[in-house]
């Protein structure tokens, strides 16, 4: 984690603060760590074969790989988010899933379909795709699509141009949702230990959310990113943008009311990543 921060800082401090990253490192780690223990035998075996040896069978350790390769694979940077029309609070694949040049399917929902279709070829001989990369992209993008501001407004780039103060620190609204809410929660409630947050989420998935978790998994095809994107833009309007203007100071009122939303989106991301991989690998 330290290494990644230093690495990114060393080469593009500004990009980290202004680009649409999706969840930060901990958000992605949490999603993948929640997902992996929920995999079926077939999916667990496929994941274990596809992960590079140095990952030591820990999908979480490479859940932010897609953010790190954005510089090398420049074409992939539009695949982390969806820009929807300002103030509309709705999402439609055919209207919204395109990049800044208007090229269709180039958004996080299109990427989830793309990498799902690639991974489905896992059991066919000589797949033409690099399925290790397909797995790492898919695991990352199912996290990203659950970050409400990843399905945000076009003109403010999902809250990236909305300046805010997170308590006393100057940042942008997008970053508050990528990192600050999770970071403040870890500090305040979990002794700065992400593993404790993960195990509390895990407990909640099997207790307070047990009924809902079944519904989160439901999907009549192999992947269902459109449903997640629609929920995301609603949450962006109802919680992320709500009451915030350029220069707002966000403190306890905002943090304490939004923290449960972030917890639920992380839990949904983890449950749905596992369910999607289980459908893909059978
Ligand atoms: C689909 O995956 C391929 C291989 O990584 C990539 O070149 C292409 O840009 C992807 N397209 C989308 C929409 O994800
Ligand atoms: C697949 O992608 C991974 C990660 O980028 C890379 O390390 C590996 O060499 C690639 N495999 C092939 C066969 O190209
Ligand atoms: C917020 O203010 C900054 C600085 O004045 C400006 O560059 C930015 O475009 C504004 N953002 C929005 C969403 O109006
Ligand atoms: C877990 O559920 C309890 C009881 O509803 C709630 O108070 C707590 O904030 C939840 N924690 C997380 C991390 O979801
Ligand atoms: Zn991302």
Condensed to tens digits (0 to 9), the pLDDT of residues 261-276 reads 999 999 999 999 999 9
105 Cβ closer than 6 Å to some ligand 1 atom = yes
Residue-level pLDDT at 11: 38
CB 178 within 8 A of CB 21: yes
Return the ligand number nearest the Cα of 55: 2
Only one residue has tokens 């300046």, namely 163
pLDDT of residue 178: 97
Nearest to 265 by CA among 245, 238, 247: 238
Closest by Cα among 32, 31, 25 to 6: 25
* Contact partners, residue 156, CB within 8 Å, separation at least 6: 86, 162, 173
pLDDT at 21: 54
Q: With CA atoms as reference, report the closest residue to 19 among 84, 68, 56, 63.
A: 68
Radius of gyration of the chain (CA): 18
Residues shown for the chain: 282
By DSSP bridging, strand 248-250 and strand 82-84 are unpaired
Token representation of residue 139: 């695991």
Mutate to test the pocket of ligand 2, among 133, 134, 136 (most ligand atoms within 8 A of CB): 133
Residues 219-240 have pLDDT tens digits of 999 999 999 999 999 999 999 9
- Whole-prediction pTM value? 0.93
Ligand 1 centroid to Cα of residue 112, in Å, is 10
Distance from residue 80's CA to the centre of ligand 5 (Å): 5
Which domains are present in the chain?
A: 12-281 (1.10.575.10)
| CA 192 vs CA 99, 174, 183, 227, 270: distances in Å | 37, 22, 8, 33, 21
Residue 24 backbone zone (phi > 0: left; psi -120 to 50: alpha; other: beta): beta
Cα 159–chain centre separation: 15
pLDDT given for residue 125 in this prediction = 82
Q: Which residues of the chain have pLDDT under 50?
A: 1-20
246 close to ligand 3 (CB < 6 Angstrom)? yes
- Give the pLDDT of residue 76: 98
Tell me if residue 190 falls in helix, strand or coil: coil
Instruction: Quick: pLDDT tens for 13-45.
Output: 334 333 445 789 999 999 999 999 999 999 999
């Amino acid at each position: 984690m330290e290494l990644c921060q230093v690495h990114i800082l060393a080469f593009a401090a500004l990009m980290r603060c202004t680009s649409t990253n999706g969840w930060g490192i901990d958000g992605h780690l949490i999603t993948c760590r929640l997902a992996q223990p929920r995999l079926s035998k077939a999916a667990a075996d496929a994941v274990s074969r596809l992960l590079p040896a140095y990952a030591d069978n820990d999908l979480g350790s490479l859940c932010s790989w897609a953010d790190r390769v954005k510089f090398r694979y420049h074409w992939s940077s539009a695949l982390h988010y969806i820009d929807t029309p300002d103030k509309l609070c709705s999402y439609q694949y055919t209207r919204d899933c395109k990049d800044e040049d208007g090229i269709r399917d180039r958004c996080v929902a299109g990427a989830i379909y793309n990498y799902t279709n690639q991974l489905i070829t896992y059991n066919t001989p000589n797949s033409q795709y690099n399925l290790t990369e397909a797995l790492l992209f898919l695991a990352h993008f199912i996290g990203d699509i659950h970050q409400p501001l990843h399905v945000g407004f076009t003109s403010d780039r999902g809250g990236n141009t909305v300046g805010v103060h997170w308590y006393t620190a100057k940042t942008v609204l997008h970053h508050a949702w990528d990192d600050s809410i999770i970071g403040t929660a870890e500090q305040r409630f979990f002794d700065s230990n992400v593993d404790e947050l993960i195990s509390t989420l895990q407990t909640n998935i099997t207790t307070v959310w047990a009924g809902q978790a079944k519904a989160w998994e439901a999907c009549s095809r192999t992947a269902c990113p459109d449903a997640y994107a629609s929920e995301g833009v609603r949450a962006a309007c109802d919680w992320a943008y709500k009451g915030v203007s350029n220069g707002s100071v966000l403190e306890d009122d905002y943090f304490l009311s939004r923290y449960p939303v972030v917890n639920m989106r992380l839990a949904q991301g983890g449950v749905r990543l596992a369910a999607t991989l289980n459908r893909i690998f059978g």
